[in-house]
Chain A
Amino acid sequence: MLRLKVSDRQEITTLHSFLTLVFSIVTGMLAISLIFLISGANPLYAFAKIFTGSFGSIYGIKETITKAIPLILIGAGLAVAYKAKFWNIGAEGQLLLGAIFGTWVGLNLGESLPFYIIVPLMFLAGFIGGGLLGAIPAILKIRYSVNEVISTLMLNYICAEFLTFLIVGPWKGKTKFGFPYTDDLPESAILGVISGTRIHYFTLILGILSVLFLGFLLFKTRFGYEVRVIGENPNAAKYAGISFFRTLLIVMIISGGMAGLAGVGEVAGIHHYLSYPASISSGYGFTAIIVAWLAKLNPIYVIISGLFFAGILVGGDAIQISLNLPAATVFVFNGTLLVFLIMGDYFLKHRVKLQWSRT
């Protein structure tokens, strides 16, 4: 009988993990080729399209960077939470609440203030919004042992419904002809873009700076040390006198706050008004979970993995149009690639052998 024997790998070299990554992507692509073939498209042509659509053309690069902005911000924040083994899967909601807080500031104070005051204020409000929402599951977990996966996930829905309530109700714009949108943000509250693109550079710079800051925080500071000890061994953290309440609360304020910043960036940089949750975010809060994992929970690497996944999102859009494939193709594409990446990670951490045995 042929059977599998699985054992833990003791040591993993950098080269090994890099090769595994490449191999996972290549095999993932092969599997996706099969799907293209079934849908009657030439896989080579499709991949060429994806590449030119994402990294291989000026337009593609512009769009990829635009979509990478929220992924990098959120992914870096999630990496910090996951490093403490706090499973925040509420970034989507934290993004939306950040967008709501930022928009409120923009709409109400934007007319009277110059852009160099109103823009930082909006981002601050967004950070507070996302951070407050992140703080709730942290407090629930530490004080009442509520599982954070459930609480963060459920808060996503509450935030999405709250946003919908605002745009069809009290915040519905007077200039929007009855559509469920808020009014446009005033001129001073709208972020500048690199001309000819949708890249709102203010958020991009903010993202890169905060990624560097979080990398420093996590690996070079006392606070980061405490976060990693809690993640590695909560018992040892307690023994070492590390305060769970303080540390996890700050971790989740940062994690939620980063998603909040992304929310402000999306509204002030791209949409300019609030609309339905799905159009504000298109699932960045969930995609960023994978971004953080692919970066091995290192905020610095999130820049690379964020760009990579942004490329997939944009490339997926491109083939949808040029090959006339159904919209769901992108999801199939992403999903397949993700499955192969996770499988690669499994094979990296475990040694799997096939062997014959007599029975």
Chain B
Amino acid sequence: MRKIEQLEMAGITKLFHGVPANKDINLSIRSGEILGLLGENGAGKTTLMNILYGLYQPDAGQVLINGKPVRISSPQESKMHGIGMVHQHFMLIESHSAMENICLGYDAAPLVFPKAKLKRQIIEFSRKFNFDVDLDKPIWQLSAGEQQRVEIIKALFNGADLLILDEPTSVLTPQEIKELFVILNKMKDEGHLIILISHKLDEIMELCDRVTVLQKGAIVGDAETKDVDKKILARMMIGRDVIFNIEREEIPSSDRVLSVDKVVVTSDKGIPVVSNISFDLYRNEIFGIAGVSGNGQKELVEAITGLRKIESGSIVLDDQEISNLSPRAIYDKGISHVPEERIKFGIAPGLFLYENAILKQHHLKKFASRLSLAYNTVKDHTRGLIESFQVHAPGISIPTKNLSGGNIQKLILGREIDDNPPVLVASHPTYGLDVGATEYLRKQLLKRRKEGGAVLLVSEDLEEIFELCDRVAVIFKGEFMGVLKADDPKLCDIGLMMAGSLRI
């Protein structure tokens, strides 16, 4: 029995300290429909969905299911009404098996020996949607795509008719994205309601029946996808035209700055995750490492920036061996680093903006005398940084966590490249950022390249790789499957290389 045939959000307004995150939002979705929710970061998409999921209460307006107003004041109640959500960052218990995660919170489980019965039910259930997951494997052994499928099964198994997916493709390979779309279309045919939060126009166009565009908390557009194209949607989303292809000048790359030779790195568990990787990096070049995350790129970056010891091989910067030096020594020698997961690694969230603007540099003479930090110099430096890197912040004496992701990333990038380091290592620099911030950051990387810097770019975003890189290496299980020039026609097989089935 379907609990939701039609769901409507009417006049939803949500204020945070008097600032509206959602202003008088009306949207509706019915059975068998996929609705796209499009908008830049901070446009209010996630707030709106969190209201539906019971995490927030609206200050005005109401949710109607099948025409009747309902009150959803907790995720439990939302589940009861048949609403499920797959968050961008998965909410799974790493050390438990897929099956245990799926059953978490499942009310109809038998009291004793639940496992056998539930397993049968889940297998039957997964077959219906062609889910392919090893139920007995612990979560940490599953790929991002498999983890996402576990999340989806979990929601459906708990009786969700309406499924909200928050940026579901951001962690998937092209192949996995295709599989996800097949599953979602199948669910649609079964009569499920799906809301897809995204800022990727291609996805919206391909998958959704209708799209609602949010900008600064308000609806600015609502259309059937067949009536619009990418350009129109992009304009609705950010209120101006976006250049989809950033101009990349042809610059001949010059001297070699960094040489990585037969490097072997092991994971925290002692398993080799980077095996015998060698490459050179030149001035005036952006060298891309493409691949699905978890194939050794994180460890390779950590090895180059000094966060992880290498087992064998060598890393040479300007004729100097730098492998296994401390992160500080490597930074001082000229390798900057924009880390992945900016909030987890790149900043101390509770400290002020100006304190984060000198992270990694607080030991430098220009900021510190013998013992004390020259806070006035630091503050001047910060003002300069936020000015030249377009960081939008109400002031420099506010906790850095109050900034949006895009502004935090601009601050980090500015901090790392302000001194013109010969080498910049950037890991997923635009992950989860909106179109405007992404465009800005990519232009900055190209500017570094033009100015003579060498950039090592690790990204899962193929569009980004193609747009920016001079050469591309594809990594799979700790090995390069090939290193190709950006204009090499063989690059169209990059999907196969990322999946490990082609080596060039």
Contacts of A11 in B (CB 8 A): 17
A222's partner among B337, B339, B362 (CB-CB below 8 A) is B362
Q: Which of A42-50, A232-240, A260-268 contacts B (4 or more CB under 8 A)?
A: A232-240
Q: Does B371 contact A (CB under 8 A)?
A: yes
Q: With A and B bound together, what is the CA distance between A116 and B71 in angstroms? A: 74
- Number of B residues with CB within 8 Å of any CB on chain A: 35
Q: Are A236 and B73 in contact (CB under 8 A)?
A: no
Q: Are A233 and B372 in contact (CB under 8 A)?
A: no
Q: For B348, give the chain A residue with the smallest CB separation.
A: A232
Q: For B359, give the chain A residue with the smallest CB separation.
A: A240
Q: Does A197 contact B (CB under 8 A)?
A: no
Q: Are B355 and A225 in contact (CB under 8 A)?
A: yes
Using A11-B17, A222-B362, A222-B368 as known contacts, say yes or no to A238 and B307 having CB atoms under 8 A apart. Answer: yes
Contacts of A3 in B (CB 8 A): 73
Q: Does B421 contact A (CB under 8 A)?
A: no
Q: With A and B bound together, what is the CA distance between A235 and B350 in angstroms? A: 14
- Number of A residues with CB within 8 Å of any CB on chain B: 28
Using A220-B373, A221-B373, A222-B373 as known contacts, say yes or no to A229 and B351 having CB atoms under 8 A apart. Answer: yes
Q: With A and B bound together, what is the CA distance between A237 and B349 in angstroms? A: 12
Q: Are A236 and B359 in contact (CB under 8 A)?
A: yes
Contacts of A232 in B (CB 8 A): 348-351
Q: Are A241 and B73 in contact (CB under 8 A)?
A: no
B73's partner among A5, A216, A228, A235 (CB-CB below 8 A) is A5
Q: For A239, give the chain B residue with the smallest CB separation.
A: B345
CB distance from B401 to the nearest CB of A (A): 10
Q: Does B113 contact A (CB under 8 A)?
A: no
Q: Which of A251-295 contact B (CB under 8 A)?
A: none
Q: Are B372 and A229 in contact (CB under 8 A)?
A: no
Q: With A and B bound together, what is the CA distance between A318 and B359 in angstroms? A: 51
Q: Does A10 contact B (CB under 8 A)?
A: yes
Q: Does B120 contact A (CB under 8 A)?
A: no
B327's partner among A5, A220, A241 (CB-CB below 8 A) is A241
Q: Does A148 contact B (CB under 8 A)?
A: no
A241's partner among B57, B71, B306, B339 (CB-CB below 8 A) is B306
Q: For B368, give the chain A residue with the smallest CB separation.
A: A222
Q: Does B485 contact A (CB under 8 A)?
A: no
Q: With A and B bound together, what is the CA distance between A229 and B326 in angstroms? A: 18
Q: Are A236 and B348 in contact (CB under 8 A)?
A: yes
Q: With A and B bound together, what is the CA distance between A267 and B375 in angstroms? A: 41
Q: With A and B bound together, what is the CA distance between A154 and B326 in angstroms? A: 35
Q: Are A222 and B372 in contact (CB under 8 A)?
A: yes
Q: For A235, give the chain B residue with the smallest CB separation.
A: B345
Q: Are A357 and B73 in contact (CB under 8 A)?
A: yes
B326's partner among A226, A235, A236, A241 (CB-CB below 8 A) is A241
Q: Are B348 and A228 in contact (CB under 8 A)?
A: yes
CB distance from A83 to the nearest CB of B (A): 11
Q: Are B346 and A5 in contact (CB under 8 A)?
A: no
Q: For A11, give the chain B residue with the smallest CB separation.
A: B17
CB distance from A79 to the nearest CB of B (A): 16
Q: With A and B bound together, what is the CA distance between A358 and B360 in angstroms? A: 53
Q: Are A223 and B371 in contact (CB under 8 A)?
A: yes
CB distance from A228 to the nearest CB of B (A): 6
Q: For B364, give the chain A residue with the smallest CB separation.
A: A222
Q: With A and B bound together, what is the CA distance between A225 and B351 in angstroms? A: 10
CB distance from B81 to the nearest CB of A (A): 11
Contacts of A357 in B (CB 8 A): 71, 73
Q: Are B348 and A226 in contact (CB under 8 A)?
A: no
Contacts of A239 in B (CB 8 A): 307, 327, 337, 339, 345-346, 359-360
Using A233-B348, A235-B344, A235-B345 as known contacts, say yes or no to A240 and B372 having CB atoms under 8 A apart. Answer: no
Q: Are B371 and A221 in contact (CB under 8 A)?
A: yes
Q: For B361, give the chain A residue with the smallest CB separation.
A: A240
Q: With A and B bound together, what is the CA distance between A226 and B56 in angstroms? A: 36
Q: Are B73 and A225 in contact (CB under 8 A)?
A: no
Which of B306, B329, B346, B348 lies at the interface centre, i.e. has the most chain A CB atoms within 10 A of its CB? B348
Q: Which of B330-365 contact A (CB under 8 A)?
A: 331, 337, 339, 344-351, 355, 359-360, 362-363
Q: Are B375 and A220 in contact (CB under 8 A)?
A: yes
CB distance from A145 to the nearest CB of B (A): 12
Contacts of A226 in B (CB 8 A): 362
B362's partner among A10, A225, A238, A359 (CB-CB below 8 A) is A225
Q: Are B327 and A240 in contact (CB under 8 A)?
A: yes
Q: For B80, give the chain A residue with the smallest CB separation.
A: A359
Contacts of A229 in B (CB 8 A): 348, 351, 355, 359
Q: For A236, give the chain B residue with the smallest CB separation.
A: B348
Q: With A and B bound together, what is the CA distance between A262 and B329 in angstroms? A: 40
Using A229-B359, A232-B351, A238-B327 as known contacts, say yes or no to A5 and B57 having CB atoms under 8 A apart. Answer: yes
Contacts of B328 in A (CB 8 A): 240-241
Q: For A216, give the chain B residue with the smallest CB separation.
A: B372
Using A5-B57, A358-B71 as known contacts, say yes or no to A225 and B350 having CB atoms under 8 A apart. Answer: no
Q: With A and B bound together, what is the CA distance between A356 and B326 in angstroms? A: 57
Contacts of B372 in A (CB 8 A): 216, 220-222
Q: Are A236 and B373 in contact (CB under 8 A)?
A: no
Q: Are A236 and B17 in contact (CB under 8 A)?
A: no
Q: For B329, give the chain A residue with the smallest CB separation.
A: A241
**Contact flags (1/0) for A190-226 with B, using CB distance below 8 Å?**
0000000000000000000000000010001111011
Contacts of A235 in B (CB 8 A): 344-345
CB distance from A4 to the nearest CB of B (A): 10
Contacts of B363 in A (CB 8 A): 222, 241
CB distance from A244 to the nearest CB of B (A): 12
Contacts of B347 in A (CB 8 A): 233, 236
Q: With A and B bound together, what is the CA distance between A5 and B346 in angstroms? A: 33
**Contact flags (1/0) for B305-331 with A, using CB distance below 8 Å?**
011000000000000000000111101
Q: For A237, give the chain B residue with the smallest CB separation.
A: B348
Q: For B57, give the chain A residue with the smallest CB separation.
A: A5
Q: Which of B445-501 contact A (CB under 8 A)?
A: none
Contacts of B17 in A (CB 8 A): 10-11
Q: For A3, give the chain B residue with the smallest CB separation.
A: B73
Q: With A and B bound together, what is the CA distance between A223 and B375 in angstroms? A: 14
Contacts of B375 in A (CB 8 A): 220
Which of B328, B362, B368, B402 lies at the interface centre, i.e. has the most chain A CB atoms within 10 A of its CB? B362
Contacts of A220 in B (CB 8 A): 372-373, 375
Q: For A232, give the chain B residue with the smallest CB separation.
A: B348
Q: With A and B bound together, what is the CA distance between A232 and B347 in angstroms? A: 9
Contacts of A355 in B (CB 8 A): 57, 73
Known: A229-B351, A235-B344. 4 other contacts (CB 8 A): A5-B73, A225-B355, A238-B307, A358-B71
16 contacts between A and B (CB under 8 A): A7-B56, A220-B372, A222-B372, A228-B355, A229-B351, A229-B359, A232-B349, A232-B351, A233-B344, A236-B345, A238-B307, A239-B307, A239-B359, A241-B306, A241-B327, A358-B71
Interface residues, chain B, CB within 8 Å of chain A?
A: 16-17, 56-57, 71, 73, 77, 306-307, 326-329, 331, 337, 339, 344-351, 355, 359-360, 362-363, 368, 371-373, 375, 402
Closest 8 CB pairs between A and B? A241-B328, A232-B348, A241-B327, A240-B360, A233-B348, A240-B359, A229-B348, A232-B350
